[in-house]
Amino acid sequence: MERYVILEKKHFNDFILKIAKSQKVVAPVAKGYHQFAFEEVTSGDQISLNYIPTILPPKKYFMPPNETIATYDISKGQNITLVVEYEEIVLFGVHTCDLAGIQCLNIAFSEHPKDINYNIRKNKIIIIGYECNSYCDEYASCRLVHNHLPNGGYDLFFTDLENGKFIIHLHTLLGEKLIKKIGFIKEADESDIQSLDALRERKRKIFAKNEVPIEHEKIPELFDKVYDSKVWDELGKLCLACGNCTNVCPTCYCFDIIDESNLDLKTGRRYRKWDSCQNEEFAKVAGGENFRPERAARQRHRYYRKFRYPIDNFSRFFCTGCGRCSRACMANINLKETLTKLVEEQGMKNPDAG
């Protein structure tokens, strides 16, 4: 049976304070106007509960932007020592879009050949989700990809019942143990469950239609038709190839592998670093041939890696609807607008869908 407990909001500050006494807690923190970031906190009052998607998604804890995978000492030959970097953290306040992003990364890094670095690290992180009761802003498209409601991927999940209480879904034993250790909670009663149901019902009305006028199920079909669309050329003319969109994407996981020697020129490390398919050099080979030289082709590749290829490979979209790529784009390339243009071009517009 599903288990829910209640935390009164007046205890929230102490709740976080108490966890932070024994474990590192990271949570969304305000970083200026409309900017938020996951950072370490020591009490609940440092957390921005009402936040729009953070600048970087929680991906940065699962797949660090710069991650040592081996160390070496050339004076002892060409051998390397393989290492995994990890941190035991409680990740608090993850929206449903970002929970979906973590699930996508889990799948990509668990597929054969399994990535041991990622898989060791992810098991050191306790995930506490946090529900959005309404839209964060106009960039989000979480309804389109069915991420506006929780789909698992957390140990605990907080919902603000808007009556002075949080209701917490205990999803895993790990989450339940944490709650028991920290305290401040009581069992949810029938009226709390009814409040949660009523809130979800209100949400269904707020998120009544897709943010793009197409049915969820028809998106792969749309992408089967638009490979040669001139929409990609339009994006190519706008795109600055800066890689912002892929850096802030919760599901982009391309990387480079680089050796870096220390100043003694003997010891050093081999590390993985985030890379971007939007960079001009990304698909270039040693002989000079570049297999994706145009920005239009690179933008198309990004969209196909979100909406078409992962359907074949992983039976899911790798777009979480978080809207970060649109918010971060310096050239105002907007995911919702791009999809709408493709839908209209193919005559697949359905006003009932969105």
Partner 1 sequence: MKTLKVKDSEYEIKIGKITRVKRITALEKLFEITLPEKECINHVPGQFVVLSRLGIGEAPFSISSSPTKLRSFELVIRNVGKLTQALHNLDVGDEVGIRGPFGKGFPIHILEGSDLLFIAGGIGIVPLRSLIHYAIDNRRDFGKVTILLGCNSPKNMLFSDEFNNWSKRMDLNFECTVDRADPDWKGNVGLITSLIPGISLVPERTFALVIGPPIMYKYVIAELLKKEIPERQIIISLERHMKCGLGKCGHCQIDNLYCCQDGPVFSYDKIKNIKESI
Site for partner 1, rule CB under 8 A:
68-70, 72, 74, 77-88, 108-109, 111, 113-117, 120, 227, 253-259, 261, 265, 268, 270, 275, 277, 282-287, 289, 291-292, 297, 301, 304-305, 308-309, 312-313
Gap between the Cα atoms of 100 and 204, Å rounded: 19
Q: Which is nearer to partner 1, 124 or 180 (CB)?
A: 124
Q: Which is nearer to partner 1, 9 or 270 (CB)?
A: 270
Q: Which is nearer to partner 1, 121 or 165 (CB)?
A: 121
In the complex, minimum distance from the CB of residue 165 to partner 1, in angstroms, rounded to a whole number: 36
Q: Which is nearer to partner 1, 7 or 248 (CB)?
A: 248
Q: Which is nearer to partner 1, 208 or 285 (CB)?
A: 285
Are 153 and 100 within 8 A, CB to CB? yes
Gap between the Cα atoms of 264 and 9, Å rounded: 54
In the complex, minimum distance from the CB of residue 166 to partner 1, in angstroms, rounded to a whole number: 31
Q: Which is nearer to partner 1, 49 or 283 (CB)?
A: 283
In the complex, minimum distance from the CB of residue 76 to partner 1, in angstroms, rounded to a whole number: 10
Contacts 24+ apart (CB under 8 A), 219-224: 219/144, 219/307, 219/317, 220/307, 220/308, 220/311, 221/348, 222/307, 222/339, 222/342, 222/343, 222/346, 222/348, 223/303, 223/304, 223/307, 223/308, 223/342, 224/308
Token digits of residue 351: 């006003």
As a residue count, the chain comes to 354
Are 37 and 55 within 8 A, CB to CB? yes
Please give the order of strands across the beta sheet that includes 24-30. Answer: 36-41, 24-30, 89-94, 125-130, 156-160, 165-170, 3-8, 185-187
Q: Which is nearer to partner 1, 90 or 179 (CB)?
A: 90
In the complex, minimum distance from the CB of residue 221 to partner 1, in angstroms, rounded to a whole number: 16
Contacts 24+ apart (CB under 8 A), 262-265: 265/74
In the complex, minimum distance from the CB of residue 167 to partner 1, in angstroms, rounded to a whole number: 34
Q: How distant, in Å, are the alpha carbons of 295, 298, 301 from that of 283?
A: 12, 10, 11
Gap between the Cα atoms of 187 and 201, Å rounded: 22
In the complex, minimum distance from the CB of residue 300 to partner 1, in angstroms, rounded to a whole number: 10
In the complex, minimum distance from the CB of residue 255 to partner 1, in angstroms, rounded to a whole number: 5
